[in-house]
Amino acid sequence: RTGDAPRRISILGATGSVGTSTVDVILGRPGAFEVEAVTAGTRAAELAEIAIRLKARIAVVADPSCHGALVEALAGTGIAAAAGEAALIEAAARPVDLVVAAIVGAAGLAPTMAAIEAGSDIALANKECLVCAGSLFLGRAEAAGVHVLPVDSEHNAIFQALEAENMPAVRSITITASGGPFRSWTREAMQRASVAEALNHPRWSMGPKITIDSATMMNKGLEVIEAHHLFGLDADRLEVVVHPQSVVHGWITYADGSILAQLGAADMRIPIAHCLAWPRRYATETKPFDLVSIGTLTFEKPDLERFPALALARGALSGGDRATNILNAANEVAVDAFLKGGIGFLDIAACVAETLDRLAGGSGLPDIDSVAAALAVDGEGRRVARAVLGGRRALRTG
Ligand code: NAD
Ligand code: MG
């Protein structure tokens, strides 16, 4: 691809938080992109508006009941409309230069894998792909010769600080955590926390699932697993530091004692623009960033007693892909139940722990050697997590 030809791009999860930030970056570079497909789970009207603004070729909504609304909203635009899981995968498999994978949860695995099989490079926001099937995912990416560029801000920071030729001299990788809204809360207060309090993230504006994951710090646990797969380091060389200002996103400690970090505003358009421009850089419309006005940067150790999800994720990482897959499945079920008001905040991590226990870390389940196998283990994790939560509700009301 020559430097000046438009990059062909698709966005999976275009209506979400990362999706709309991606739309912003693209609209800020007129002529730099040709958009092939945009997709969403539901919300046909928002998806249609994005498709029209980006002049996409096709818009696909996963929920078949939204098909009519999408067709209507795109009538006369010349943009194709489709719905359903098969159409989503077909759209993801249209070969382009770069697919932005910004669906939330394990639901993103099959479409993102289809994009890999089609030979498209991936800008990966959907970290759950790596948590549910990391070895398979990156194995297929390598076989297909595609690049997987990390959008997740901490991993993007590490990617920026990485000198590939000095990989053997990497002593450790550190990712930072804001600590979320409950950084200084007691466990008693956390158990009574409302959904609104858990959704009130101090630094980042994100979709609801990852915002709850930030409050439990499961997000950082998922990110340790993500970093293990992306950078090939064992868990004992992957560190997490709580840094409430969210200015330093991550750093690499090299064997010679040098530390290379990446800093910037807590604005996802920065790592997204980095992936979209890579290996070059684009100008973005982000606010000027002034370290002097920020003044003080602080760093603390995470508290694994108040935030057990982080320890659970590390434990699952040592258990392998089936264990991390179950961790993710149980977490998705529990976060959904919390958001619907069905369980308390601390029940999220308790449900994940109990599900992993009941399934013995997945040791009796099939190896994750295909997308179907990954989804089968995920299904089993969800089934057991629902049973765990059902038992809790029965205990409470009974
Ligand atoms: P979001 O909830 O705002 O958006 C999710 C998108 O996925 C939407 O377009 C939605 O329609 C689509 N979607 C949901 N369920 C679907 C399904 N079953 N089938 C097809 N499409 C479906 O989420 P987000 O905050 O943008 O996060 C997206 C991913 O990026 C997550 O994996 C998250 O962990 C990761 N991430 C997000 C941020 C952030 O700042 N928001 C930062 C780092 C990583
Ligand atoms: Mg992150």
Per-position DSSP letters for 166-223, written without gaps between them? GGGGEEEEEEEE---TTTT--HHHHHT--HHHHT--SS----HHHHHHHHHTHHHHHH
| Residue 20 sits in the same domain as residue 103 | yes
| Residue 95 sits in the same domain as residue 138 | yes
Any binding-site annotation on 16? yes
Alpha carbons 11 and 53: distance in angstroms, whole number: 13
Alpha carbons 392 and 383: distance in angstroms, whole number: 15
Pocket lining: 271 vs ligand 1, CB cutoff 6 Å? no
| Residue 201 sits in the same domain as residue 146 | no
> What domain range includes position 234?
153-265+289-304
Residue carrying the six token digits 């950082």 = 220
| 315 located within any domain | no
Query: Residue 134 carries which DSSP code?
Result: H
- Which stretches of the chain score pLDDT less than 70? 1-3, 393-398
| Residue 294 sits in the same domain as residue 161 | yes
355 C-alpha to ligand 2 centroid (Å): 25
349 C-alpha to ligand 1 centroid (Å): 21
Residue carrying the six token digits 């765990």 = 388
| 312 located within any domain | no
Ligand 1: residue of 47, 70, 99, 104 to mutate (most ligand atoms within 8 A of CB) is 104
Out of 94, 128, 151, a domain closes at: 151
Q: Which two tokens stand for residue 392?
A: 């809790």
* Cis, peptide link before residue 279, omega less than 30° from 0: yes
What does the pLDDT read at residue 45?
Answer: 98
Out of 101, 134, 151, a domain closes at: 151
Out of 304, 333, 366, a domain closes at: 304
223 C-alpha to ligand 2 centroid (Å): 7
Pocket lining: 102 vs ligand 1, CB cutoff 6 Å? yes
pLDDT digits over 131-174, tens only? 999 999 999 999 999 999 999 999 999 999 998 899 999 999 99
What does the pLDDT read at residue 287?
Answer: 87
| Residue 188 sits in the same domain as residue 111 | no
End-to-end CA distance of the chain: 65
pTM beyond 0.80, yes or no: yes
What does the pLDDT read at residue 314?
Answer: 98
| 279 located within any domain | no
| Residue 162 sits in the same domain as residue 142 | no
Tell me whether strands 248-254 and 259-263 are parallel, antiparallel or unpaired.
Answer: antiparallel
On whether the CB atoms of residues 90 and 115 are closer than 8 A, the answer is no
| Residue 142 sits in the same domain as residue 224 | no
Q: Which two tokens stand for residue 25?
A: 């970056």
CATH number of residue 50's parent domain: 3.40.50.720
What does the pLDDT read at residue 398?
Answer: 37
Pocket lining: 18 vs ligand 1, CB cutoff 6 Å? yes
ipTM of model: 0.99
The H-or-E segment that residue 60 falls in is strand 58-61
Any binding-site annotation on 17? yes
Q: List Cβ neighbours of 243 (8 Å cut-off, separation of 6 or more).
A: 176, 177, 178, 179, 297, 298, 299, 300
What does the pLDDT read at residue 397?
Answer: 44
Pocket lining: 107 vs ligand 1, CB cutoff 6 Å? yes
| 202 located within any domain | yes
| Residue 297 sits in the same domain as residue 333 | no
Residue carrying the six token digits 């264990």 = 323
Please tell me the total count of domains within the chain.
3
Ligand 1: residue of 15, 17, 268 to mutate (most ligand atoms within 8 A of CB) is 17
Residue ID of nearest Cα to ligand 1 atom 16: 41
220 C-alpha to ligand 2 centroid (Å): 7
Alpha carbons 46 and 13: distance in angstroms, whole number: 11
Ligand 1: residue of 43, 103, 175, 268 to mutate (most ligand atoms within 8 A of CB) is 103
On whether the CB atoms of residues 138 and 237 are closer than 8 A, the answer is no
Instruction: For Cα atoms 12, 246, 160, give the angle at the middle one, nearest 5 degrees.
Output: 60
What does the pLDDT read at residue 396?
Answer: 52
